[in-house]
């Protein structure tokens, strides 16, 4: 199980299992937030704790951040799927470096094409140093 917490430790998340990749997206929001995402479903494989404030971007999702220290903890979908589940992604940069170091980076072009791009062999630890 992976765990992450904001700087002041008032907001946290847990992710059961090991993600198969960490998404680096170049959209206007992700670029500015400097996040790496791992995906799941709210209350199923991802659980969150602590009070957050949210910034809704369009009608698809809301970015949740700690109102005390400002760290972006996760985004949550604003709609449910056909099975009543809510999509969520946690910011892997809030996890301890050793826990996520070897997770491969997946690139997503959220700025122009909305396409998944090929992996380049880098993993999370390559983005920190």
**Domains: count for the chain:** 1
Going by C-alpha positions, the residue among 7, 21, 8, 18 that lies closest to residue 107 is: 21
- Are the beta carbons of 116 and 106 closer than 8 angstroms? yes
> Which tens digit of pLDDT belongs to each residue from 29-68?
999 999 999 999 999 999 999 999 999 988 999 999 999 9
CATH number at residue 68: 2.170.150.70
Backbone CA torsion sign across 127, 105, 20, 73 = positive
* 25: helix, strand or coil: strand
Name the DSSP letter for residue 70.
Answer: -
Q: Does the predicted TM-score (pTM) go above 0.75?
A: yes
> Which tens digit of pLDDT belongs to each residue from 92-124?
999 999 999 999 999 999 999 999 999 999 999
């Amino acid at each position: 199980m992976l765990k992450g917490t904001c700087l002041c430790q008032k907001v946290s998340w847990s992710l059961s299992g090991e993600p198969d990749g960490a998404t680096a997206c170049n959209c206007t929001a992700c670029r500015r937030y400097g996040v790496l995402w791992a995906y799941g479903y709210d209350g199923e494989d991802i659980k969150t704790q602590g009070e957050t404030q949210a910034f809704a971007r369009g009608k698809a999702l809301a970015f949740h951040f700690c109102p005390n220290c400002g760290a972006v903890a996760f985004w949550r979908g604003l709609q449910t799927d056909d099975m009543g589940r809510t999509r969520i992604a946690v910011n892997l940069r809030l996890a301890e470096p050793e826990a996520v170091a070897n997770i491969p980076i997946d690139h997503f072009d959220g700025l122009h094409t909305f396409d998944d791009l090929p992996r380049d062999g880098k993993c999370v630890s390559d983005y920190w140093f």
